[in-house]
Structure 1
Amino acid sequence: MATWTNETAKSALLEMFSAAIKSADPHAALLDALPEKPPGRCIVVGAGKASAAMAAALEAAWPDVPLSGVVVTRYGHAVPTRKVRIIEAAHPVSDSMSEVASMLILESLKNLTPDDLVIALISGGGSALMALPRTGITLADKQAVNKALLRSGATIQEMNAVRKHFSDIKGGRLALAALPAKVVTLVISDVPGDNPEDIASGPTLPDNSTIEQVREILHRYQIELPEHVSQVLAEKRETVSAKAIQVDVRMIATPSKALLSAAAVARKMGIAPVILGDALEGESAQLGIVMAGIARSVKHHGLPVKTPAVLLSGGETTVTIGSCSAKRGGRNTEFLLSLVNALAGETHIWGMAGDSDGIDGTEDAAGAFICPDTLSRAQEKGVSGKQMLEEHDSYSFFAALNDLIKTGPTLTNVNDIRAILIV
């Protein structure tokens, strides 16, 4: 483009974001991963923000197979199905429907035979959506620990290690319940590194975590447990090993594929894409500062790429709230607010970041845009970028500027997509 404006830059960034999401459309991604149709029954179970859309795609692909089963997704993410029951529950903190859905899923797996097939549809968000507390632990206990973990800055891998030891369905226990039927797990990844054991806390995968690791995580993040919960965790319980269950996992959509799709769109626009990684982690605000430095290097020195260029990255950062009272925002808007503060009005640099599921944290926006004049426009409205970053109020900052990205639920989830355009 000969002349770049806020409007043309936003349009280009949004087209890249849309391409990334489209690459993870369950209807397209699921077809090549389906197993052979079974001689017996086919039970469909699943959990995650994309699981209902995956179930609908499976019904469309196998109209001649008598499917049944139960899938749980987030409120607002259900889609019409004819054979598989869809239940909606809360995310990121479980509610009573999360527990009800788990019990119904296990009920659907009773009395199976070796001729039967269980297809598990797993995507990000499944840990909260499919919550069955370990015997002796209540849902309120799980909710309290989960809230503390979400505020602590723990990584998704650390949180899910803890969740497995609090659960009677995660960490391979769903697969145990399905024996002796064959289990095939179709996964849309939303975790850095795409380890299927970390996605929705691996309900059909072996559990390689240990109680010692869980105790260390809880101690490091200063999460206190009620005495009765500590007693339950002290009781010896074998984790599910690879020998105990059969493992057939098929990854149908990943953050890396999403970034490659965004990069292809950039090339068609004459913009050089640089994929910095699909598994970036750490504090959102710190990553914003780092990315500002890379963007400046591209602009002023042509390193590591000459302009026009776009820096693409994925992964899942964290926002450590601690004991302070946070306001509104998610990890993407927090990253962007830190980025724009660090850029301090640098010209010819635009950016966007959004959660591919369409919801950044618990808000109604997927993410937001930043422009070279973001801070000056905020100043005119009496809005302080530095103060709102300190207060974890990034959603309100971008809402005041009308720079939020609102897609609604996308019915897929391959984590966060970040793009910084330098021209």
Structure 2
Amino acid sequence: MSSIQDPNDFLRSLFSAAVKQADPMRCVPAALPPKPDGRVVVLGAGKASARMAEAVEAEWGPCEGFVITRYGYARDCQGIEIVEAAHPVPDQAGVDATGQLLEIAEGLGADDTVIMLISGGGSALLCAPADGLTLDNKQTLAADMLASGMPIGDINGIRKELSAVKGGRLAAAVYPAKIVTLMISDVPGDDPSDIASGPTVGHAGNAHLAIATLAKWGVTAPPAIASYLEKGGDPLSPDDPRLAGVENIICAAPSQSLEAAAKIARDAGVDVRILGDALEGEARDLAVTQSELAVQIAEEKLSQPVLLLSGGECTVTRRGDGIGGPNAEFVLAAALALRGHPKIHVIACDTDGVDGAAEVAGAVADPTTLALAEAMEISAEGALANNNAHGFFEAIGAQVVPGPTLTNVNDFRAILVLP
């Protein structure tokens, strides 16, 4: 028998459990090797990197180091310097900070060890344009790619072509020092080369593939970037000998957070069905597919609640000028597809606490969502058409706003079907 009292509160508690599972203070110590002899330098970038640095110092005491994180995600560390910059579109602070990090990296020797802390968001925070390119070039392209609906793997592949630090180039700068990279994965499939665009992993793509990908998604590169790619770029091969000694360790992944939420649900008497931890695609389309599945389940003679869990990274193709993100858009599209179904509740949130560019993790929807909006003369259809999911859920008081979570294992989606 289920112990669920309030379905919306229950779904919020599952999201909190998923975030807690990926807290660097929990996962980093388990992956951290014994402290090496000699000089140890901690470097890193990502939304979780400052918290990861805090976790390293909790184990080892004050350390030398330099870490770049998103505005609002800094932590007070004992010895490691924490610098903040912009995400998801890079800024000059990120360029300056990356320059400082590279100076430290290039001053290391064969007797030194680097603990590299990498998490989602590092692609924007580590910003060092390749020769001949500028920050303006990269800002323009980043904004256009994010608005196009392009999958994150494709975006990161292009980023690697245009960077002096991604695609293994940071590791090459650190060479010949030894590198142990601890990663918190925010990418479908947990491929280390995709996490923060793989600063310690070589790039298997090429400029011709990048050109084809931009064309496929209808993105026009700024002239300087187009010219750079047409000349072939300068990728660093995964077989480059400077990368041979790098050890890449994933210490937290989306699947682990889904399992943590699933355990709580099962303990509450819920039948849990995990649909996958690496789902991609247009947020509104995935919402319709999962909502249809939920309706089919609701028509069965259920003896207990059913929970559909999924992770991954959805995308949004910008059609309007509203404030939205893939998780809020998923929930809004699901609410419209469900049309106030009396047995179904939905949540979708980004585990980093930021959905799109809004300081909001996501939203919840229940059987009353559309009726409440209608009573307030708010159009759900209009909000979806204008990509204004955050504006919609803010107006009806259904946002999930945890603030900076200090971690990042991608999207968390849950649909609860009651008997």
Contact residue 109 and residue 178 of structure 1 kept, 8 A: yes
Residue in 2 that maps onto 1:27 = 25
Are residues 1:152 and 2:148 paired?
yes
Q: CA deviation at 1:39?
A: 2.2
TM-score (norm 1): 0.95
- Please say if 1:256 is aligned against 2:255: yes
Structure 2 counterpart of 1:349, one-letter code: I
- How many Å separate the matches in 1 of 2:11 and 2:124? 31
Cα distance in 1 for partners of 2:332, 2:196 equals: 29
- 1:208 corresponds to: 204
Partner of 1:271: 270
Alignment partners' CA distance in 1, 2:293 and 2:71: 38
Is the counterpart of residue 391 in structure 1 residue 386 in structure 2?
A: yes
> 1:12 matched to which residue of 2?
10
CA contact (8 A) 2:211 2:229 kept: no
**1:59 offset after TM fit, Å?**
0.8
Distance 2:278 2:343 in 1: 27
Distance 2:2 2:42 in 1: 52
SS in 2 for 1:109: helix
Deviations 1:53-97 (A, max 9, x none): 00011011101xx62121110000001012111010001100001
Equivalent position of 1:91 in the other structure: 87
SS of equivalent to 1:205: coil
Report whether the alignment pairs 1:132 with 2:128. Answer: yes
Q: Distance in 2 between matches of 1:39 and 1:345?
A: 62
Distance, in Å, in 1 between the alignment partners of 2:190 and 2:306 is 27
The answer to whether the 8 A contact 2:329-2:384 is kept is yes
| Pair 1:410-2:408 in alignment | no
Please say if residues 21 and 410 of structure 1, whose CA atoms lie closer than 8 Å, have aligned partners that are also in contact.
Answer: yes
1:311 counterpart = 2:325: no
SS of equivalent residue, structure 1 residue 279: strand
Q: Report matched runs for 1:141-290 at 5 Å.
A: 141-236=137-232, 237-244=234-241, 245=243, 246-290=245-289
For the 8 Å contact 1:38–1:115, the answer to whether it is kept is: no
Q: What letter matches 2:259 in structure 1?
A: L
Identity %: 44
Report SS of the residue matched to 1:282.
strand
Contact 1:33/1:252, CA 8 A, preserved across alignment: yes
Q: 2:269, 2:224 → 1: CA distance?
A: 61
TM-score by length of 2: 0.96
Query: What do you get for the CA RMSD once the two structures are aligned?
Result: 1.5
- How many aligned residue pairs are there? 415
Find the aligned partners of 1:186 and 1:44 in 2 and give their Cα distance: 11
Q: How far apart, CA to CA, are the structure 1 residues paired with 2:339 and 2:409?
A: 30
Per-residue deviation, residues 143-167 of structure 1 (Å, max 9, x unmatched): 0010110011100000000101110
Distance 1:141 1:353 in 2: 33
Q: Does structure 2 conserve the Cα–Cα contact (< 8 Å) formed by 1:91 and 1:125?
A: yes
Q: Are the equivalent residues in 2 in contact too, given 1:312–1:419 (CA < 8 A)?
A: yes
Change (3 A) 1:278 1:238: closer
Q: 1:307: how far off? A: 3.6
1:325 and 1:310 map into 2 onto residues whose CA distance is 32
Counterparts of 1:87 and 1:281 in 2: how far apart (Å)?
31
The 2-side partners of 1:306 and 1:326 are apart by 44
Query: Contact 2:167 / 2:235 at 8 angstroms: preserved in 1?
Result: no
Shift of 1:254: 0.4
Task: Sort the Cα spacing of 1:410 and 1:238 in 2 relative to 1 into closer, same or farther, 3 A.
Answer: closer
Q: Is the 8 A contact 2:2 2:270 kept in 1?
A: no
**Structure 2 residue aligned with 1:353:** 348
- 1:42-57 to structure 2, matched below 5 A, reads 42-57=40-55
1:104 aligns with 2:100: yes
Contact 2:63 2:78 in 1 (8 A): no
Structure 1 Cα separation of the partners of residues 311 and 320 of structure 2: 28
What CA distance in whole angstroms lies between the structure 2 residues aligned with 1:374 and 1:238?
49
Determine if the alignment matches structure 1 residue 337 to structure 2 residue 332: yes
Q: What per-residue deviation string (whole Å, max 9, x for no partner) do you get for residues 206-247 of structure 1?
A: 111111110111111222233333332233424232332123
Quote the Cα distance in structure 1 between the aligned partners of 2:342 and 2:298: 9
Q: Is the 8 A contact 1:366 1:405 kept in 2?
A: yes
Q: Is the 8 A contact 1:364 1:406 kept in 2?
A: yes
Runs of 4+ deviating beyond 3 Å: 1-5
2:119 maps to 1:123: yes
- The answer as to whether partners of 2:2 and 2:268 remain within 8 angstroms in 1 is no
Whole-angstrom distance in 2 between the partners of 1:393 and 1:157: 25
Task: Report the Cα distance in structure 2 between the residues aligned to 1:138 and 1:243, rounded to whole angstroms.
Answer: 26
Displacement of 1:306 in angstroms is 5.8
